[in-house]
Chains A and B, each alone.
Chain A
Amino acid sequence: DAKTTQPPSMDCAEGRAANLPCNHSTISGNEYVYWYRQIHSQGPQYIIHGLKNNETNEMASLIITEDRKSSTLILPHATLRDTAVYYCIVRAAGNKLTFGGGTRVLVKP
């Protein structure tokens, strides 16, 4: 699975959009971009995934650049409950999820 690079931490104001970047410059054509988050020692929670098109669900939006070498997870209106570690993972279907260090997001009131 391709390696990802994420900033170790970021702060966000409550009610504002949180934009979480991820670089995956070695991604190959059959690999998807997945985002998970982990809230304080709970089990990781699936957020969203995509291949090349932008995706949106009730939790977030995923923007993938045209060359697929980077992506951004957008939490449109961050709440205090969005404080968590966010993991960007690149994975081919069938392979295990390999977690990196993630981005520790702190949503501040």
Chain B
Amino acid sequence: DSGVTQTPKHLITATGQRVTLRCSPRSGDLSVYWYQQSLDQGLQFLIQYYNGEERAKGNILERFSAQQFPDLHSELNLSSLELGDSALYFCASGRQAESFYGYTFGSGTRLTVV
């Protein structure tokens, strides 16, 4: 157990729908990172939050959004889902905004869009 909790573990939904993925960081970590891993794209950075504020943005689609709440958990919202959004979504957490160390990943949410 890495200490980073992601729910749900699996999600199956239809095209056009909206889903929310949840991430609870390790205790004491203030940064949350979201990554998408599809078969043909590898691990792609989506977005980072630090202590409630957006810190960095990667290849995140406009249909996707995220936020980090006062209790530091984060949610990734995916809307108008397409078949190509099927992927593993990983959350990672880090101690600070600019951490010398790497960060710790959760076990992921597998999203299947049918």
Contact = CB atoms under 8 A, between A and B. Distances in A.
Interface of A: 32, 34, 36, 38, 41-46, 49, 87, 93-94, 96-102
Contacts of B98: 93-94
Interface stretch (B13-21, B62-70, B74-82, B105-113): B105-113
Contacts of B106: 43
Contacts of B100: 32, 93
B33 A96 contact: yes
Interface residues of B, number: 26
B56 A99 contact: no
Contacts of B2: 43, 45
Binding site secondary structure of chain A? loop
Contacts of B92: 43-44
B105 A44 contact: yes
Given A96-B33, A96-B45, A97-B103, A43 B58 contact: no
The 6 closest A-B pairs by CB, nearest first: A94-B98, A43-B105, A99-B43, A46-B102, A96-B45, A44-B105
B33 A45 contact: no
Nearest to A98: B45
Contacts of A46: 101-104
A44 B90 contact: yes
Nearest to A51: B100
B99 A94 contact: yes
Contacts of B107: 42-43
Contact of A97 (B88, B102, B108, B110): B102
B30 interface: no
Contact of B56 (A34, A38, A42, A96): A96
A43 B99 CA distance: 19
B48 A49 contact: no
A40 to B, nearest CB: 11
A99 B42 contact: yes
A47 B51 CA distance: 26
B99 A101 contact: no
Contact of B108 (A41, A94, A99): A41
